[in-house]
Homo-oligomer: A and B are copies of this chain.
Amino acid sequence: MANIRQDIHDALSCIKNGHTVMVGGFGLVGAPLTLIDGLTKKDVKDLTIISNNLGESGKGLGILLNQNKIKKAIGSYFTSNRDVGEKYQKGEIELQLLPQGTLAESMRAGGAGIGGYYTTTGVGTQLAEGKEEREINGIKYIFEPAIRADVALIRAYKADRLGNLSYYKTARNFNPVMATAANMVIVEVDEIVEPGELSPEEIITPHLYVDYIVEAQQVLTKEGVVNK
């Protein structure tokens, strides 16, 4: 069951130096903009960020990057932020690149108690270097270990007071998977409703996955990110 927090700083208090933090979103779509903003205002360092992208230059996780709070990033597409390359060249950040499907599947494994699994994605490519290869029924696979985090920061559409979550269109993406794979799950939502207002069919993330809920203060509009 989830706790509702008014204060963003308070909600983020479980994040410590050196923590691994999953951050939802595909680009800015479905990204927990309010929580990311809170993280940029928090005194914390040496984070490992697991997220498909690292925001854009000077936006979202891009701010955190420029604040040198990120020690390592695990994702599939850092290209969307040109600052990442510069930091990487200077040796200021460690990067682990995974195919997007492997990134998502490894999180699911982490949330489902699976130690690791075999995928065909990446076999024979540079991203398979150093990974165990195994043939199963005549097909070549590589081993991928599960991924978990200390904290997941995600965004949903609506939450009921129990912590059940629904999502909005393609703003769903990595969020439900990350909700399963972290020790502490903090969600920002557009709206908090009473239990029963979300139909069982709408509930994508059951409340057993959710620890803290905050109301979103920043939203993505056609004009970009704006304060609510």
Contacts and interface: CB of A to CB of B under 8 A. Distances in A.
Interface of A: 105, 109, 112-121, 134, 136-137, 139, 141, 145, 166, 169, 199-202
A206 to B, nearest CB: 13
Which of A115, A121, A201, A202 has its CB near the most chain B CB atoms (within 10 A)?
A115
Contacts of A114: 105, 117-119
Contact of A120 (B109, B113, B200): B113
Contact of A118 (B117, B121, B201): B117
Contact of A166 (B113, B116, B120, B201): B201
A118 B144 CA distance: 11
Given A145-B136, A166-B201, A118 B119 contact: no
Given A113-B119, A115-B117, A115-B141, 16 more contacts: A105-B112, A105-B114, A109-B117, A113-B121, A115-B118, A115-B136, A115-B139, A116-B118, A116-B136, A117-B117, A117-B118, A136-B145, A166-B201, A169-B200, A201-B201, A201-B202
A84 to B, nearest CB: 28
A144 to B, nearest CB: 9
Contact of A115 (B112, B119, B145): B119
